[in-house]
């Protein structure tokens, strides 16, 4: 099928089966009373689990947080924390579904975490385990996909039908929202842009390869470069070193970002380099995907124009066909570190509607076996 604008449209069959962009749009067209259902979003990070009740306008009504003990990141421990937080919130709010945003590879069915680098999850059936214990509809989503969805629904991606989001934290998270749905790829692994090779034979990446983009444009890149200067006993790095408590180990991504915002020239220079690499990578993504907007989020993006400015310059310098094509804007994300939680909750809301028409599930405190 071809639309009047010449773009191809998906076939009808997936819509009838309840999957694909059209089915997602149809679900979005449900009555306003259902759109307002509060749901719970969960953000699982490397050191903490945050749960929040989110209303139909993307507003966080209440948030709870539990730190995860450093050495106990087993699936069972995280599951117990999630169940506990959800039940606490469900006592106070009439919630209808739970969405989990997990830093890891989530399969295309959004039920299994295939691999999570910071947690001991390998092919973990998280969705089934949690929905059995909670008796709520549960979806599991990659955290970058969840954040992108939130920005598209409520933030800096609003009104743009083809958006790419990049989340700069310790690495680079990526996601594509197109025609009102998250483009997850065939196996659920689309958007792993951070592991595109940009420097052959470059810095080693924990993924096993060398020269991955996120080795040059991330919080980890900031930290590595600052520590290199310290090892070389460079005098220019002294103010930054003092901020870090006098040790290289005290250097963190947020610390460098904060120092740059306070005017430290070395920190500003380090962010300039990270921003330049960001722009080069974005130009590559524009060549491959040609979206209408790039939204930049994550902790490193707190640096604002110190990061986005150099990225825009490098993007304009390296974009293929520059001067003869529209240039997609690169903008700062709007929702800050709540994006993952809000997006997971909103994606869960779509499932809540579907389940609600069949049978309204009530929360029951289930004692795990």
Give contact residues for Zn ion (rule: CB under 5 A): 195, 205, 207, 209, 212
131 or 215: whose CB is closer to Zn ion?
215
Residue 3 C-alpha from the chain's centroid: 31
Closest separation in Å from C-beta 199 to Zn ion: 11
φ, ψ of residue 160 in degrees (nearest 5)? -105, 120
Q: What is the DSSP string of 273-306?
A: HHHHHHHHHHHHHHHHH--SEEEEESGGGGGTHH
23 or 212: whose CB is closer to Zn ion?
212
Closest separation in Å from C-beta 249 to Zn ion: 23
Closest separation in Å from C-beta 195 to Zn ion: 4
58 or 298: whose CB is closer to Zn ion?
298
203 or 354: whose CB is closer to Zn ion?
203
149 or 216: whose CB is closer to Zn ion?
216
Closest separation in Å from C-beta 170 to Zn ion: 12
Q: Can you tell me the distance from the alpha carbon of 31 to that of 6, in angstroms, rounded to the nearest whole number?
A: 31
133 or 195: whose CB is closer to Zn ion?
195
137 or 171: whose CB is closer to Zn ion?
171
What are the distances in angstroms from CA 166 to CA 175, 183, 304? 7, 14, 14
Q: Can you tell me the distance from the alpha carbon of 175 to that of 177, in angstroms, rounded to the nearest whole number?
A: 7
Closest separation in Å from C-beta 202 to Zn ion: 10
Closest separation in Å from C-beta 203 to Zn ion: 9
Contact 172, 217 (CB under 8 A): yes
Q: Can you tell me the distance from the alpha carbon of 160 to that of 164, in angstroms, rounded to the nearest whole number?
A: 10
Closest separation in Å from C-beta 222 to Zn ion: 17
Q: Determine which helix (DSSP H) or strand (DSSP E) holds 83, and give its type and residue range.
A: helix 75-92
Closest separation in Å from C-beta 197 to Zn ion: 8
209 or 247: whose CB is closer to Zn ion?
209
Can you list the positions of beta strands (E) in 157-251?
162-168, 172-178, 181-182
Q: Can you tell me the distance from the alpha carbon of 272 to that of 226, in angstroms, rounded to the nearest whole number?
A: 13
Q: Can you tell me the distance from the alpha carbon of 260 to that of 240, in angstroms, rounded to the nearest whole number?
A: 9
Q: Can you tell me the distance from the alpha carbon of 155 to that of 329, in angstroms, rounded to the nearest whole number?
A: 15
176 or 205: whose CB is closer to Zn ion?
205
Exposure of 241 in the CB half-sphere (CA atoms within 13 A): 16
Q: Can you tell me the distance from the alpha carbon of 12 to that of 32, in angstroms, rounded to the nearest whole number?
A: 26
Q: Sign of the CA dihedral 147, 333, 169, 275? A: positive
Beta-bridge partner residues of 54: 39, 60
Residues 6+ positions from 105 with CB-CB distance below 8 Å? 113, 114, 115, 116, 142, 188, 189, 192
366 CB neighbour count, 10 Å cutoff: 12
282 or 341: whose CB is closer to Zn ion?
282
Closest separation in Å from C-beta 142 to Zn ion: 16
Closest separation in Å from C-beta 225 to Zn ion: 17
């Amino acid at each position: 099928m071809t639309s009047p604008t010449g773009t191809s449209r998906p076939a009808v069959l997936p819509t009838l089966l309840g999957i694909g962009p059209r089915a997602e749009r149809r679900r979005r067209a449900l009555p306003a009373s259902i759109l307002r259902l509060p749901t719970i979003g969960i953000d699982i990070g490397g050191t903490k689990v945050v749960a929040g009740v989110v209303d139909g306008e993307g507003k966080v009504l209440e948030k709870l947080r539990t730190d995860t003990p450093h050495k106990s990141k087993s699936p069972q421990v995280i599951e117990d924390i999630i169940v506990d937080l959800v039940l606490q919130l469900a006592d106070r709010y009439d919630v209808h579904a739970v969405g989990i945003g997990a830093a890891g590879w989530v399969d295309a069915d959004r039920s299994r975490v295939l691999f999570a680098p910071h947690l001991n999850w390998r092919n973990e059936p998280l969705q089934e385990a949690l929905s059995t214990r909670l008796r709520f509809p549960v979806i599991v989503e990659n955290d970058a996909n969840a954040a992108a969805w939130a920005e598209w629904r409520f933030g800096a991606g609003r009104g743009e039908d083809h958006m790419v989001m990049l989340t700069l934290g310790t690495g680079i998270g990526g996601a594509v929202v197109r025609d009102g749905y998250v483009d997850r790829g065939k196996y659920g692994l689309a958007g792993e842009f951070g592991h595109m090779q940009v420097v052959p034979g470059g810095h080693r990446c924990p993924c096993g390869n060398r020269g991955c983009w996120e080795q040059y444009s991330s919080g980890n890149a900031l930290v590595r470069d600052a520590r290199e200067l310290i090892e070389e006993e460079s005098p220019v790095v002294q103010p930054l070193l003092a901020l870090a408590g006098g040790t290289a180990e005290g250097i963190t991504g947020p610390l460098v970002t904060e120092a740059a915002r306070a005017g430290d020239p070395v920190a500003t220079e380090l962010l300039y380099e990270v921003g330049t690499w960001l722009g080069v990578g974005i130009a590559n993504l524009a060549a491959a995907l040609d979206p209408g907007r790039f939204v930049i989020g994550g902790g490193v993006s707190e640096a604002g124009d110190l990061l986005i400015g150099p990225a825009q310059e490098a993007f304009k310098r390296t974009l293929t066909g520059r001067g003869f094509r529209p240039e997609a804007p690169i903008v700062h994300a709007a929702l800050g570190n709540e994006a993952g939680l809000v997006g997971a909750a909103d994606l869960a809301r779509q499932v809540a509607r579907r389940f609600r028409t069949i049978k309204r599930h009530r929360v029951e405190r289930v004692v795990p076996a």
